[in-house]
A and B are shown apart, each in its own frame.
Chain A
Amino acid sequence: MSDVSKVTVRQRSALGRVRGMGSAKQGSHHWWVQRISSMALLPLMLWFVISVASLAGHSYADTILWIGHPFNATLLLLTIAIGFQHTASGLQVVIEDYVADEMSRMAAVLAVKAACTLFGVLAALAVLKIAV
């Protein structure tokens, strides 16, 4: 066993290297989508936080007017879509790291995706109802 630690670790088989999909069978796709969504959310987050902070204490009519403006409604829809996608993929990684049992893990990931889809569509519909 003493020589084992000196061996350069190459755990992937030749076939695995050719396919390039790793143990998750999806390659780097999930990781890459998380990075892209996080980059998209940077300017959206800046805009959203500053806008909502400036709306503090404003009336119902003012708020409706702000949400209903085409520019704000567009950015809100993008924030909702990309935000919930980023949330679902982030929570998925957390679940996959900590839930060992395969059935529980799959159930938890699916529940998170269902909840993110449900609340994402609900939020988007609310924006559309005001804006359209």
Chain B
Amino acid sequence: MSIENNARDATMVGRRTDGTAFRRPLSPHLQVYDMFQITSGMSIAHRITGTIWAVGLLFLVWWLVAAASGPDAFATAQWFFSSFIGILVLFGLSAVAWYHTLAGVRHLMWDSGYGYDIPTVQKTGRIVLIATGVMTVLTWFIAIIAWA
């Protein structure tokens, strides 16, 4: 957080190039705003899942590099991915990936100008949450069938 050393900054008052004053827009206050309602909660979750997925990409790199390096390296990667922690990590990543993908579709809908009224926002939010669960289970259903 930056320290405000200017009273005008602190009170969110700005000046236009012609010198007239105006009030700058203010973000929701973190200690007052309820961040766990579906609107803001899912917005924060979109960022968090995007960041986790970025770290998760390292497992994709590992898998590909191991496959390119030969059977021994691939066996090591397979051993990790089929271990308890490995499956836990992959399960978490698949849920994170589906959430970020589906919430991303919701963002694209907003970007093209649709679905801004509160009932629709809450409805699409619930759809994304349910679809994330369904797609994650479906993904692992496919994986278990392939494994067996």
> Contacting B146 at CB < 8 Å: which of A41, A58, A67?
A58
B146 and A13: CB pair below 8 A?
no
- B68/A129 in contact, CB under 8 A: yes
Structural contact, A60 and B147, CB atoms closer than 8 A: no
Number of interface residues of A (CB under 8 A): 44
Q: Which residues of A44-101 are within 8 A (CB) of B?
A: 45, 49-50, 53-58, 60, 63-64, 67, 76, 80, 83-84, 87, 90-91, 94, 100
In the complex, the answer to whether B101 meets A9 with C-beta atoms within 8 Å is: no
Tally of contacts, chain A with chain B, CB under 8 A: 107
Task: Check B61–A123 contact: CB distance below 8 A.
Answer: yes
Q: Check: A18 CB closer than 8 A to any chain B CB.
A: no
Query: Does A119 lie within 8 Å of B23, measured CB to CB?
Result: no
- Known contacts A4-B23, A64-B67: does B146 contact A53 (CB below 8 Å)? yes
Chain A residue nearest to B14 in the complex (CB): A11
| B5 / chain A contacts, CB cutoff of 8 Å | none
Q: Is B64 in contact with A123, judged by CB distance below 8 angstroms?
A: yes
CB pair A56 B147 closer than 8 Å = yes
Give min CB distance, B31 to chain A, whole Å: 17
Nearest residue (CB) in B for A61 is B71
Contact A126 B23 (CB under 8 A): no
In the complex, are the beta carbons of A38 and B108 less than 8 A apart? yes
The chain A residue sitting closest to B17, CB to CB, is A13
What 1/0 flags go to A22-57 for Cβ under 8 Å of B? Answer: 000000000000010011011001000110011111
Interface assignment of A109: CB less than 8 Å from any CB of chain B: no
Instruction: Report the separation of the CA atoms of residues A127 and B105 in the bound assembly, to the nearest whole angstrom.
Output: 28
* Alpha-carbon separation in the docked complex, A57 to B17 (Å): 65
**Among B54, B75, B94, which residue has its beta carbon within 8 angstroms of that of A87?**
B54
Asked if residues A50 and B67 are in contact (CB atoms below 8 Å), the reply is no
The residue from A9, A13, A87, A119 contacting B53, defined by CB atoms under 8 A apart: A87
A103 at the interface (CB under 8 A from B): no
Q: What per-residue 1/0 map shows which CB atoms of B60-83 lie under 8 Å from chain A?
A: 110011011001001100100010
Contacts of A21 in B (CB 8 A): none
Determine if B58 is an interface residue (Cβ-Cβ < 8 Å).
yes
* Segment at the A interface, from B33-41, B120-128, B135-143: B135-143
B61 touches which one: A35, A58, A122, A129 (CB < 8 A)? Answer: A122
B67 adjacent to A126 (CB under 8 Å): yes
- What residue of chain A has the Cβ atom nearest to residue B2's Cβ? A100
Report the nearest A residue to B18, measured CB to CB: A13
In the assembled complex, 8 residue pairs joining A and B whose CB atoms fall closer than 8 Å, in A order, are A5-B23, A9-B25, A39-B108, A50-B142, A53-B139, A55-B146, A94-B47, A123-B65
Q: Which 4 A-B pairs have the closest CB atoms?
A: A57-B147, A126-B68, A126-B64, A56-B143
